Amino acid sequence: MGAVEHGRVRDYILTELTALGFRPEIQKATGIGTRYREAGAVENILARLPGADSGGKAVLIMAHYDGVEAGSATADDGAACAALLETLRALRARPRPPMHDVIALFTDGEESGLLGAAAFVREHPWAKDVAVVLNFEARGTTGRSFMFETGPGNLDAARALRHAPGATAGSVYTTIYRMLPNDTDLSELAALHLPALNFAFADGVERYHTSRDDLPHLDHGSLQHHGSQMLAMAQTLADSQLPRPITGDGVFFDLPIVGLVVYPQGLELPLAFVALILVGAVIFREPGLAARGALVALIALLVAAAVGWTVSLGFHGPAVWSGISAACIVLLSLSLTVICSAFAVRWVGSRGLYTGTLIVWLVVAFLLAARAPGASYLFIWPLLSAAMARLVGRGRPIAEWLTAGAALLLLAGFIYGVSVIMLGVTGTGAAALAIVTLLVALLLAPLIDVVTASFHRQAATALGVAGMVCYGIAALAIRPDADHPVRSAIIYAENVDSSDAWLGGSGPARDGWTRAVIGSENGQIMPAWTSWMSAYGGKFTARQVKRIPLDSPSVALVRDTTVGAARNMVLRLRAPVASTALSIRARGAKVISASIDGRAVDASRYRYHTRDWVMQYWAVPDSGAVIDLSIPARSHIELDVASRRPGIPQEIATTLPQRPSYVVPSQTGDVTISSKSRRF
Give CA–CA dist 104/82, Å, rounded. 12
Residue 557 has what pLDDT? 96
In a domain, residue 520? The reply is yes
Give CA–CA dist 334/438, Å, rounded. 7
In a domain, residue 254? The reply is no
Tens of pLDDT, residues 244-280: 999 999 999 999 889 999 999 999 999 999 999 999 9
Do 470 and 501 fall into the same domain? no
Do 669 and 552 fall into the same domain? yes
Tens of pLDDT, residues 115-124: 999 999 999 9
Give CA–CA dist 533/477, Å, rounded. 35
Do 307 and 443 fall into the same domain? yes
Look at 507 and 22; give whichever has higher pLDDT.
Answer: 22
Task: Please state the rounded mean pLDDT for residues 202-207.
Answer: 94
Do 508 and 645 fall into the same domain? yes
pLDDT of 46 higher than 80: yes
Do 521 and 407 fall into the same domain? no
What count of other Cβ atoms lies within 10 Å of the Cβ of residue 511?
18
Residue 534 has what pLDDT? 64
Do 383 and 506 fall into the same domain? no
Do 514 and 597 fall into the same domain? yes
Please tell me the total count of domains within the chain. 3
- Tell me the percentage of the chain whose pLDDT exceeds 70: 97
Q: Which of 70-74, 283-287, 433-437, 522-526 has the lowest mean pLDDT?
A: 522-526
- Total-model pTM: 0.94
In a domain, residue 601? The reply is yes
Query: Would you give the DSSP letter of residue 210?
Result: B
pLDDT of 522 higher than 60: no
Q: Tell me which of 452, 477, 502 is where a domain ends.
A: 477
In a domain, residue 482? The reply is no
pLDDT of 85 higher than 90: yes
Backbone angles phi, psi at 372, to 5 degrees: -145, 70
Give CA–CA dist 580/5, Å, rounded. 11
HSE at residue 602, side-chain half, CA atoms within 13 A, is 14
pLDDT of 393 higher than 90: no
Residue 231 has what pLDDT? 98
DSSP code per residue over 312-381: HTT--GGGGG-HHHHHHHHHHHHHHHHHHHHHHHHHHHHHHHHHHHHHHHHHHHHHHHHH-HHHHHHHHH
In a domain, residue 257? The reply is no
Do 516 and 473 fall into the same domain? no
Average pLDDT taken over every residue of the chain: 92
pLDDT of 524 higher than 80: no
Q: Are 104 and 47 in contact (CB under 8 A)?
A: yes
Tens of pLDDT, residues 119-151: 999 999 999 999 999 999 999 999 999 999 999
Task: Please state the rounded mean pLDDT for residues 345-369.
Answer: 88
**Confidence band of 167 (pLDDT split at 50, 70, 90):** very high
Do 217 and 275 fall into the same domain? no
In a domain, residue 418? The reply is yes
Q: Which helix (H) or strand (E) holds 304?
A: helix 290-312
Residue 658 has what pLDDT? 93
Quick one: residue 21, left, alpha or beta (phi over 0 = left, psi -120 to 50 = alpha)? left
Do 562 and 422 fall into the same domain? no
Give CA–CA dist 360/357, Å, rounded. 5
Q: Which of 337-341, 519-523, 550-554 has the lowest mean pLDDT?
A: 519-523
Task: Please state the rounded mean pLDDT for residues 592-614.
Answer: 93
Per the structure, the complete domain to which residue 458 belongs is given by 266-477
pLDDT of 454 higher than 80: no
Task: Please state the rounded mean pLDDT for residues 50-67.
Answer: 95
Look at 6 and 338; give whichever has higher pLDDT.
Answer: 6
Do 307 and 158 fall into the same domain? no
Domain CATH number, residue 59: 3.40.630.10
Q: Which helix (H) or strand (E) holds 486?
A: strand 486-488
Task: Please state the rounded mean pLDDT for residues 623-648.
Answer: 95
Q: Tell me which of 248, 274, 295 is where a domain ends.
A: 248
**Confidence band of 492 (pLDDT split at 50, 70, 90):** very high
Task: Please state the rounded mean pLDDT for residues 5-16.
Answer: 96
Report the length, in residues, of the chain.
680
In a domain, residue 259? The reply is no
Q: Tell me which of 453, 477, 501 is where a domain ends.
A: 477
Give CA–CA dist 292/284, Å, rounded. 16
In a domain, residue 260? The reply is no
Q: Are 291 and 363 in contact (CB under 8 A)?
A: no
Do 417 and 293 fall into the same domain? yes
Q: Are 334 and 451 in contact (CB under 8 A)?
A: no
CA angle 604, 600, 186 (to 5 degrees): 55
pLDDT of 643 higher than 70: yes
- Give whole-number Cα distances, 627 to 574, 600, 630, 653, in Å: 11, 10, 10, 34
Amino acid, res. 427: G
Residue 53 has what pLDDT? 87
